[in-house]
Structure formats: structure tokens, C-alpha cells
Amino acid sequence: MSFWKLRYGVELTDREGNRRWPPLFLVTMPVIGKRLRIDTMQVASIFNLVLVTSGALAAIIWFTTKGMTFFDVTLLLITQFLVGLGITLGYHRLFCHKAFLAGRGVSIILGALGAASMQGKIMTWVSVHRKHHHHSDEAGDPHSPKSTREGLIAGLRAFLGGHMGWTVSGRLCNYTDYIRDLRKDEAIVFVDRYYWLWVLMGWLIPGLVTAAWYQSWSGFLSGILGAGALRAFLQMQATWAVNSLAHLWGSRPFVTKDDSCNNALVNAMTLVGEGLHNNHHAFQWSAKFSLHKGEIDPGYLVLRALAHFGLVWDLKIPGQELIEARREAANNAGVAAR
């Protein structure tokens, strides 16, 4: 009779040869000898998704029964906006693209706010996103919604895979080659070490604020479920929509090697300017996503205010001439709005 056998450290690279962390467990089952691959990150990600989704469902049942007040909605939107700033200014524009500079205190606050979105630690989020930019919409992109096959079913499968399937299918991990620089950043190491504390605070603080407002325990539950769970769920959908919808539909004022688009609906979902995704792919290093008249980028407005008070500095922004030149190139290439 054979026993459970465990091997650790297999498959240290993905299909493209990128190193990944953590490595997989390989378990040999007793008697039948079948081998199972266990990805601890995948297990954690499934747990995370189940937690947020069941919390959001509980919130829908709770508010359908009890009704949602103006206060509940306002707190949800304020929390989503603040945590959204953590994602767009912290995780994305600062840690991933280094589009501006900030001191340790501001970096930690932005990082902790971003962590409250429950979209993973900074190292993980940034490694996946940098890999996305490197391989946008081609083999190696962790979350492209483009289908390589014809047909509605294939298209739908690719869309769902690029939207949320990738988070639970083993493609969510630390691609270590992409984050060597971040390991030396004390603010990032600090925020990542206490990741679950920020997640907990993202649920607990709205609960306490609502309990204080209503002076009741049911108020506490309203805050946890509304501005905690439902907010995290909506926020995940918004970020995932950037990866899926904003790589399929919208306008393409710039030529990029991928199919990124500016999508007004996605921009509204994120609340912070992340839907201007073609602009972002064209100028990844830019602290400003709104590059044309009428485009709304609340994240950049907040960044400007922070810069005004000297809390952030060296904001990288493309000059008008460069923007015009890129747009001209797009016109010559015949790129049209879709």
C-alpha cells in the first residue's frame, strides 16, 4: 500500500518561461497513485472569491429585506472611491508604473487602501499587471479576453476567462522576474506583510462608522455587508472589466500593439479614471490617463491636489506634441473608434 507523497517546488516557471511563486505542491494519492497539482495561491484566490461573492449576496438579501438608506449608498460610494484611489494611484500608477514619486507615508496609505480592495498583495498585482503590459492580448497575457477560436461559445469562454476565470485558474501568482525592484521598497514590503489587516479594516471601519451612525448592531452589519463586502465585489468587477471590456469595446485614439480601448462604462464603474485604458496602454508611464478633452480622470485630479500640498511629486505627463504625434500616427494607420 502506498502513502500520500508530497513533493514541493515543481513547476517553478510558466509556459513562457517566467519564474512564478509560490511553486506548486505535487501530491501522489495513496493506493490509486494519481498525482494532484495543488497551487496554494489558486486555493487562496478561490477562497477570496467565495468570501467576497457570498458577502455580496448576503448584502443583497439584507438590503432587499431592510432597505438601503441614502447613508448606506453614500458610504459605499465614498469607500469605493477611496479604495479605488489605492488601486489606481497606489498599486497601478505608483508601484507598477512609477508614474510619480511619493514619500513612505503616502505610499503606505495608498498601498493599504489598495489592499482593502482584496485584489491581492502589491507584489502579486504588479507582477501580473506588468506581465499583462509585456504580452498584451497575446500568448503570455494573464488575462486577455480575446478568443483564438471562432464561434460564440469560444468567444464567451475567452471573455469570462479574461474577466474573472484567470483569478482562479492558476494564472494568479507572483511572476518574480517582473518585481525585482519592488522587493527593496520598504513601504511595499510593509504593506504586503500586513495585507490581511488592511482587508479586515476595509470591512470593519465601514461597520463601525455605520454602527455609530445608527447606534445599533444592525447598523454594524449594514456597514460590513454594504461598504465592506458589496463594495469589494463591485470593485473587483470594475477592475476585471478594465481587463475584459476595455480590451474589446470602446474607442482607440492611439495605436497600441494590443486591443486596449477607452470605455466610458468601465470608466464610470471604476470611479477613478481606469477606463481610459487605450490612453494608458499608449502612455504606460503617464500619471494622467485623461489625454483628450472631455475625458474624466478623478484619480489624476486627486493626484494633482496631493502634488499641490507637496505629498507627491515628479508627475510624468506626456506633452501635447507627443500626444498629437501619436494620434496622427493612429489616423494614418486608419484606426477607427469601435
Chain positions contacting Zn ion, by CB under 5 A: 260
Beta sheet of 24-28, edge-to-edge order = 5-10, 24-28, 35-38
Closer to Zn ion by CB, 231 or 277: give it: 277
Burial of 133-163, coded b for 16+ CB within 10 Å and e otherwise, reads bebbbeebbbbbbbbeeeeeeeeeebbebbb
CB of 258 to Zn ion, least distance (A): 6
Residue 148's φ and ψ, nearest 5 degrees, are: -90, -5
Longest dimension (CA), the chain: 74
Kindly state the smallest distance separating residue 64's Cβ from Zn ion, in Å: 35
Shortest Å distance, C-beta 284 to Zn ion: 5
Question: Measured from the CB atom, is 31 or 139 closer to Zn ion?
Answer: 139
Q: Assess whether the previous peptide bond of 30 is cis (omega < 30° from 0).
A: no
Question: Which is nearest to 187 in space by CA: 248, 108, 291?
Answer: 108
Nearest residue (CB) to Zn ion, 227 versus 312: 312
DSSP readout, 183-250? GG-HHHHHHHHTHHHHHHHHHHHHHHHHHHHHTSHHHHHHHIIIIIIIHHHHHHHHHHHHHTGGGTSS
Find the shortest distance in angstroms from Cβ 227 to Zn ion: 27
Q: At its nearest, how many Å lie between Zn ion and the CB of residue 297?
A: 14
Min dist CB 136 to Zn ion, Å, is 6
CB of 125 or CB of 203, closer to Zn ion: 125
Nearer CB in complex with Zn ion: 146/157: 146
Which residue minimizes CB distance to Zn ion? 260
Question: Which residue, 18 or 260, has its beta carbon nearer to Zn ion?
Answer: 260
